[in-house]
Structure 1
Amino acid sequence: MSAWIVSLEGTEAGRSLALALAILAAILHAVFGALQKGRHDPWLSRGAIDGAYGLMAMPFALFVVPWPAPHLWPILAGAFVIHTGYKILQGYTYVYGAYTVVYPVVRGTGPFFAVIGAWIVFGERFQPLQWLGVLVLMGGIFGLAAYNLAHTTVARETMPRALMLAVATGGFVALYTTYDAYGIRAAADPFTFLAWFFFIDGLLFPVVAALRWRRMADRPTLPPLLLRGFTGGIVAFLSFGSIMLATRLDKVGEAAVLRETSTVFAAGIAYLFFGEKVGPRRLALMGLIAAGAVIVEAGG
């Protein structure tokens, strides 16, 4: 599998696979965000999900994939630090803001900075038509956030703080997207990076969640929370694994932009599971998001 992935790098088949992986990541990332924001405290959900995918990755990291080369250990340590910062910011964002408002802001901020990061780190250059696509996509995402903000009654008093945190979280999305692309390209075997990333990344937040759960006066029952963690762990493997592989196979900036169509899928999840209505205005804004992604891909 690893040799096949590596053989596709820089080929047209690799580009097509990267496109499919980025779209898959978008769908699954919306599911992942909803799992963290759902009925449980976001810190508990995050801890359960991280613990699940850490345990799932451990046997692969220790016994299946080749061990990381010496130069890869500091890269994995850096990824752990960046993702920890991202998860802390995201947790506070979900605590203070309505999911349908803050999620689009996070996802709308990320691609702009990710494209710049890909230019700085990898020398990728977007064509003028692709920049137009980025602007169209961001306009649709931020328009969706503004529409949701105007129509939500949830957490209105803490929304300014939540929006600032959402922008900062979007910056971390761009940072980890660029950094992880660097890391997976630095590994001879991409699955070595993936397995060890998930194993190491799953160490901290289960401890944070356990301490928080012990301090709660009204503790949630563990079986539903652990089931959410198991489901989220599988989704995380497929979502984050897909986008990381996409950034190894093709351009980082394009993969980052395509992933942000997750906002469209998140709106569908909000409609189906959170009771949010999807009217003609929101449909039009989601159409802009999709159009922006198409323009970016066509412009490349």
Structure 2
Amino acid sequence: MWLLLAFTSALLLGLYDVAKKQALRDNAVLPVLLLNTLFSSLLFLPTILSTAGGWGWFDATPLRCPAGDLHAHLLVVLKSCIVLSSWVFGYFGIKHLPLTIVGPINATRPVMTLVGAMLIFGERLNGYQWVGVVLAIGSLFLLSRSSRREGVDFRHDVWIYCIAAAAVLGAASGLYDKFITRRLDPVFVQSWYTFYQFWMMSAAVLLIWWPRRRRTTPFHWSWAIPFISLFLSAADLCYLYALSDSEAMISVVSMIRRGSVVVSFGFGALLFRERNLRAKAIDLALILVGMVFLWIGSR
């Protein structure tokens, strides 16, 4: 079951990247991110209110949100900080880079998660799973070479560094998720971490963007913004439920979720008319083959 949830999360993450790219076209990053956290919070607000008011609206559903003590909330606040930091870097990167470059880079994020999982949780991969990881590393090397045709130099492009920082923080978030889901209910984590993120982003927008709004990229409304929240919330919920399974391996779940590159790559080619697709398709093929090896090794 955890594998099915992981693949569902991957599909939704691909749609999330597409919505993000569309919403950020000629748009201010921080207000878009603020609205993302706002809509995500509103999606889960009824579960929080149901518990706080003792009404039990969702008691007989998978969306039931149990109460938590101060320690539980502090754990969720830390998750909010890690994820939000990753998002800020990732949003700036995806705004300025082609989706067909960002997707494959993000798809290699589980390699870092793998190293952490081996060191922290003692996870071990079998031969098939190692093949999948090696193919993912190879795809990143090929992508760095093919991207030069579009003027993107991995060594000197600041937006590449933003995506890299987002990937490192995302890997740290994945490892922390493995830790936190063993202790807290997935719906509790999802509901409250979006709530805390909204208030963090509100402070960031008021202190950083609002005073400089007339000197930076202006904000305009896009109907893609609420879909960012919808796709991301559903993807994260599937992900957290997958990790709550005692048999789930964070290294495998993280790698499967990066299969979202298939969706983002397709939309990058069809919707955004991005270039140099033939060379990037080789990188994508390596990732897909890696997904197959991971699937075989996890059965």
Q: TM-score range by the shorter chain?
A: 0.7 to 0.9
Match of 2:267 in 1: 269
8 Å CA contact retained: 2:20, 2:228:
no
Please say which of residues 290-299 and 45-54 is displaced more in the overlay. Answer: 45-54
Q: Which residue, 147, 166, 171 being the options, matches 1:169?
A: 166
The 1:26/1:297 distance shift into structure 2, 3 A limit, reads farther
Residue identity opposite 2:66 in structure 1: P
Matches of 2:174 and 2:104 in 1, distance apart? 17
> Which structure 2 residue ranges, 5 or more long, are not aligned?
52-64
Please say which of residues 289-298 and 274-283 is displaced more in the overlay. Answer: 274-283
CA drift of 1:159 comes to 5.0
Match of 2:142 in 1: 143
The 1:68/1:133 distance shift into structure 2, 3 A limit, reads same
Match of 2:67 in 1: 67
8 Å CA contact retained: 2:262, 2:284:
yes
Matches of 2:71 and 2:204 in 1, distance apart? 29
Match of 1:231 in 2: 227
Matches of 1:221 and 1:85 in 2, distance apart? 21
CA drift of 1:271 comes to 1.3
Matches of 1:221 and 1:82 in 2, distance apart? 25
Task: Please say if 1:89 is aligned against 2:89.
Answer: yes
CA drift of 1:97 comes to 4.3
Match of 2:56 in 1: none
Residue identity opposite 1:162 in structure 2: W
Matches of 1:158 and 1:52 in 2, distance apart? 36
Percent identical pairs in the alignment equals 19
Matches of 2:116 and 2:19 in 1, distance apart? 24
CA drift of 1:150 comes to 2.3
Matches of 2:154 and 2:120 in 1, distance apart? 39
Residue identity opposite 1:295 in structure 2: F
Residue identity opposite 2:36 in structure 1: I
Paired residues in the alignment total 281
The 1:96/1:17 distance shift into structure 2, 3 A limit, reads closer
Matches within 5 A, 1:145-224: 145-147=144-146, 149-153=147-151, 159-187=156-184, 189-209=185-205, 212-213=209-210, 215-217=212-214, 220=218, 222=220, 224=221
Matches of 1:247 and 1:33 in 2, distance apart? 25
- What's the secondary structure of 1:233's corresponding residue? helix
Matches of 1:28 and 1:208 in 2, distance apart? 26
Match of 2:292 in 1: 294
Residue identity opposite 2:170 in structure 1: V
Kindly report the root-mean-square deviation, in angstroms, between the aligned alpha carbons of the 2 structures: 2.8
The 1:88/1:158 distance shift into structure 2, 3 A limit, reads farther
Match of 1:11 in 2: none
Match of 1:242 in 2: 238
CA deviation string 1:120-169 (max 9, x = no partner): 3332211132111111123224423532x22325x779952222332222
Q: Which has more helix, going by share of residues?
A: 1
